[in-house]
Amino acid sequence: MDDFLWLQSRYLTLQSGTTGLSFDALSRFSEPLWVFYGLEKSAVLDELEYTEDLDLMDTAVSIMESARLFWAYFRTPKEKKAETLGILEDRMLGEMPEPEDQEDFRELVEKMEAGFKRFSKTAIQQAEEN
């Protein structure tokens, strides 16, 4: 399977909600990531409906998968948060990140947390019951 088709199948899996999180909730939650990367979410997702652009598909899947990782982090029990955050940081920044990248990551975590806190308990349950 070529790279585009693999990414497209991953994107369609995210859209289907079979990953355990509704695409609508994931899409809303991912907004700070799109802003962080200087991209317009709706423009990118709309364009994916009409083009077979490998880079665009890779970007969209990467952002949505990152949002899923952040969602899982915010659902982690408090006693495991520090360890989980370290794993998330390693996953997103690599083994030897620059101090500037670490600071950007901390700011992103704060923005993602603020976005997560906007979801009510009921909305979180509905998103995860998909």
Q: Across residues 122-130, what is the average pLDDT?
A: 92
How is residue 112 written in tokens?
């993602």
> What is the domain range of residue 33?
3-128
Reported as a single tens digit per residue, the pLDDT across 62-74 is: 999 999 999 999 9
Is pTM beyond 0.85? Reply is: yes
Domains in the chain, number: 1
Predicted pLDDT of residue 122? 96
Can you list the pairs that 100-103 forms with residues at least 24 positions away whose Cβ atoms lie under 8 Å?
none
